[in-house]
């Protein structure tokens, strides 16, 4: 199977509210030879405010966010088209599962496209950082590293690339970071060729769940306070190994005294499960966790000292004592329900509902997507009347407002403009970036001599900030009469 290594740059770090403004992707064959590359950048949509910090990090100056050839809608369309052309493939980036993947899903969702392209339709996803951390847990000298400010090996992409002989001065542009990821992964693949396919087998949720359900014990790796560790774990009983609410796999650390834990009453078990470090661990099957052969953890302490006989006995106890696993799941269920009860009861905005808003109505509208994107803007507006999901209607109106506002009836145009104005001109602390939050952030960067990002001089930084500040002032002016 082919690989697609990719990276994005955004205008913010807030998942539900960030805008993808640049993407770089490289298609590789099964031997990691490059076949094709893709790079695109877009103008900022006119219905949102960027974060000054994010624009400083990826050096998206005022010209880049206003004068690009592509609108945001056009760029997202190109990304979907290219990724479909390259499918089926294994998609991965550096620390992508928690950020890039989530942004892409939301961008597709808000652009009336299927959100889960890179892990459906024959595709799978993985995360380069998961692989790199596992490689270091097995061999701490696998790649050259430098120490970070806390005295631990730096796992930053730029640092790993530079220390291992790759030119890294262009870091934080999407395609350049993609190239660095390919180079670091390629070196790792070469040095640990015997483990490469072991790392990648967990790109599939089904494979992960089968391993948890069927294996007696195996090795996982986790990173604590900047250090990578191997753990020997045993899954809960085959009938009760999934979290009762979140459906993630549950395992126990075999360094724990399973014999004594199984004697505890339910209330005492509940107390024990709150203690740190926890004797149980969660494996998120849909997030490409690394699961390796048991022998890797058996070679390290404390498992080496405990001995294989006792470890085997503990693993058997997990397989045979269903009540213990059921009790663990009961505790987890109570905790999850308590968390849900105490979580915020406020109404969510449509942009925040990719997971919570349900898919029944959404799925009924999916057959309309292709016609929407192949029609002209007037036809698209009429087609929105056929959509059942109110969120998608809102997103559709937003797309038209940004792409072809002149075709909107006056009442709809004014309604959309008022909604945007209410959002971006708010003086409250909001979940999204507002004009006032941007100005405060911009002033702080301007006055803080330590915040230089990759600017070479103070004058360069100030000129950059003046440009993006003018951009936001124009936005403010545009919506002040809404």
The tens digit of pLDDT for each residue in 68-118 reads: 999 999 999 999 999 999 999 999 999 999 999 999 999 999 999 999 999
For residue 451, CA distances in Å to 57, 172, 456 come to: 10, 16, 11
- Rounded to whole angstroms, how far apart are CA atoms 42 and 8? 12
Q: What's the pLDDT at 340? A: 83
Q: What's the pLDDT at 1? A: 86
- Name the token pair of 287: 């997030």
Q: What's the pLDDT at 466? A: 97
Q: What's the pLDDT at 357? A: 84
Angle at 50 between CA 44 and CA 54, to 5 degrees: 110
Q: What's the pLDDT at 119? A: 95
Residue carrying structure tokens 């809404």: 482
- Rounded to whole angstroms, how far apart are CA atoms 225 and 153? 11
Each residue's pLDDT tens digit, 280-296:
999 999 999 999 999 99
pLDDT at 459 over 90: yes
Q: What's the pLDDT at 233? A: 98
DSSP state of 242: B
User: pLDDT averaged over the chain?
Assistant: 95
E strand or H helix at 217: none
Residue carrying structure tokens 């979580």: 343
Each residue's pLDDT tens digit, 146-178:
998 888 899 999 999 999 999 988 767 899 999
Q: What's the pLDDT at 125? A: 97
pLDDT bucket at 250, cuts 50 / 70 / 90: very high
pLDDT at 237 over 70: yes
Sign for the CA dihedral angle at 297, 298, 303, 305 comes to negative
Q: What's the whole-model pTM score?
A: 0.95
Query: What whole-number percentage of the chain has pLDDT above 90?
Result: 92
Q: Which of 85, 137, 93, 97 is nearest to 5 (CA)?
A: 93
Mean pLDDT of 138-153: 92
Q: What's the pLDDT at 344? A: 63
- Rounded to whole angstroms, how far apart are CA atoms 75 and 447? 35
Q: What's the pLDDT at 469? A: 98
Cβ-proximal residues to 252 (8 Å cutoff; 6+ apart), any chain: 233, 234, 236, 258, 261, 279, 280, 281, 318
- Rounded to whole angstroms, how far apart are CA atoms 148 and 180? 19
Mean pLDDT of 130-149: 94
Each residue's pLDDT tens digit, 306-339:
999 999 999 999 999 999 999 999 999 999 998 8
Say if strands 227-235 and 249-253 run parallel, antiparallel, or are unpaired. antiparallel
Each residue's pLDDT tens digit, 336-354:
998 888 776 568 999 999 9
């Amino acid at each position: 199977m082919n690989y697609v290594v990719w990276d994005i740059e955004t205008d913010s770090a807030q998942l539900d509210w960030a805008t993808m403004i640049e993407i770089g992707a490289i298609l590789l064959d099964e031997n990691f030879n490059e076949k094709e590359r893709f790079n695109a950048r877009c103008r900022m949509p006119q219905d949102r405010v960027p974060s000054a910090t994010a624009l400083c990090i990826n050096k998206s100056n005022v010209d880049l966010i206003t004068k690009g050839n592509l609108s945001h809608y056009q760029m997202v369309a190109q990304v979907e088209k290219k990724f479909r052309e390259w499918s089926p493939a294994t998609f991965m980036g550096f620390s992508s599962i928690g950020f890039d993947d989530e942004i892409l899903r939301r961008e597709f969702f808000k652009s009336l496209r299927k959100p889960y392209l890179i892990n459906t339709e024959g595709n799978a996803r993985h995360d380069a950082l998961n692989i790199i951390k596992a490689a270091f847990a097995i061999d701490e000298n696998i790649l050259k590293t430098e120490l970070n400010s806390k005295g631990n090996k730096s796992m930053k992409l730029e640092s790993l690339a530079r220390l291992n002989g790759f030119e890294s001065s262009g870091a934080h542009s999407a395609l350049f970071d993609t190239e660095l990821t390919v180079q670091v992964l390629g070196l790792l693949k070469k040095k640990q060729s015997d483990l490469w396919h072991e790392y990648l087998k967990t790109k599939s949720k089904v494979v992960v769940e089968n391993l948890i359900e069927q294996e007696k014990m195996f090795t996982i790796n986790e990173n604590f306070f900047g250090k990578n560790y191997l753990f020997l774990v045993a899954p809960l009983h085959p009938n009760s190994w999934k979290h009762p609410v979140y459906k993630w796999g549950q395992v126990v650390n075999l360094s724990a005294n399973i014999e004594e834990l199984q004697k505890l009453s339910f209330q005492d078990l509940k107390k024990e499960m709150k203690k740190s470090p926890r004797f149980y661990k969660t494996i998120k099957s849909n997030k490409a966790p690394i699961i390796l052969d048991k022998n890797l953890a058996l070679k390290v302490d404390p498992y080496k000292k405990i001995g294989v006989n006792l470890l085997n006995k503990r693993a058997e106890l997990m397989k045979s004592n269903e009540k213990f696993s059921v009790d663990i799941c009961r505790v987890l269920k109570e905790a999850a329900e308590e968390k849900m009860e105490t979580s915020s009861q406020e109404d969510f905005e449509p942009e925040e509902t990719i997971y919570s808003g349900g898919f029944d109505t959404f799925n009924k509208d999916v057959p309309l997507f292709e016609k929407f994107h192949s029609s002209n803007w007037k036809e698209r507006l009429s087609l929105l009347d056929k959509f059942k999901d109110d969120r998608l209607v809102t997103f559709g109106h937003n797309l038209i407002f940004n792409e072809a506002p002149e075709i909107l009836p006056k009442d709809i145009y004014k309604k959309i403009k008022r909604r945007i104005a209410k959002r971006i001109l708010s003086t409250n602390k909001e979940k999204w970036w507002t004009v006032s939050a941007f100005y405060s952030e911009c002033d702080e960067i301007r006055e803080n001599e330590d915040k230089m990002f990759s600017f070479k001089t103070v004058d360069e930084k100030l000129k950059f900030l003046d440009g993006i500040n003018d951009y936001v002032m124009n936005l403010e002016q545009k919506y002040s009469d809404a």
